Homo-oligomer: A and B are copies of this chain.
Amino acid sequence: MASKDRILRLKDDTRNNILAASIDIVKEEGWQALSMRKIADKIEYTAPIIYEYFANKDAILNELTRQGYVKLGNLMQQAISEHSDPAQQLEAMWLAYWNFAFAEKELYQVMYGVEVNCCAMQNMCPDIQKPMNMLWDKIEEIIPADKRTEEYVDTKYYTCWSVVHGLISINMTRKLTSDEMNKQVLKDAIGGIIASMK
């Protein structure tokens, strides 16, 4: 019965191949160029077999989105482990978020809908919520107990997120700002918000 396992492993392989082929195509030609037939070509099959692994094209994008959040979560975990002071940890987490957005540009695009049309963030699965929760918890930790209401944490969380995501979006759609200025804006804004929490 070990052959069953081998076959299952092979099926898993082609599933991964589909996902890998997809990001390859996106990296080469952008999200708009991603088509079922192109994916099939790349994995040396015909288009219909993809539907044995994914319900439809959106399901592929959803899985890539999920994987993106997993990666982001891991990077944040690592950022935390490299500092002991909560404020420094939070800053490192946002920096990790920032770096992830450009290191995995294509994933960030599908995760946060910058220049992508698809998949309107339907299923809020745990993987997707994790990075958000990590940031939220860390902010909660920094805020002194007497100010620590859910609303206050929410406000600070969304303020930080807005700055970072906004700056990333702007950088991705048009590229005018210099790298030094990005770092400056990021440090200024995030630093200011973090300082205002205490």
Contacts and interface: CB of A to CB of B under 8 A. Distances in A.
A167 B160 CA distance: 10
Interface stretch (A10-18, A38-46, A168-176): A168-176
A173 B121 contact: yes
- Mostly, the A contact residues are helix
A185 interface: yes
A182 to B, nearest CB: 8
A170 B158 contact: yes
A33 to B, nearest CB: 11
A166 interface: yes
Contacts of A101: none
Interface stretch (A20-28, A78-86, A112-120): A112-120
Interface residues of A, number: 36
25 contacts: A32-B117, A112-B169, A114-B169, A121-B173, A121-B174, A154-B177, A154-B181, A155-B184, A155-B188, A158-B167, A158-B177, A158-B182, A158-B185, A159-B185, A159-B189, A161-B170, A162-B162, A162-B164, A162-B167, A162-B185, A163-B189, A165-B169, A166-B169, A192-B192, A192-B196
Interface of A: 31-32, 112-117, 120-121, 151, 154-155, 158-159, 161-167, 169-170, 173-174, 177, 181-182, 184-185, 188-189, 192-193, 196
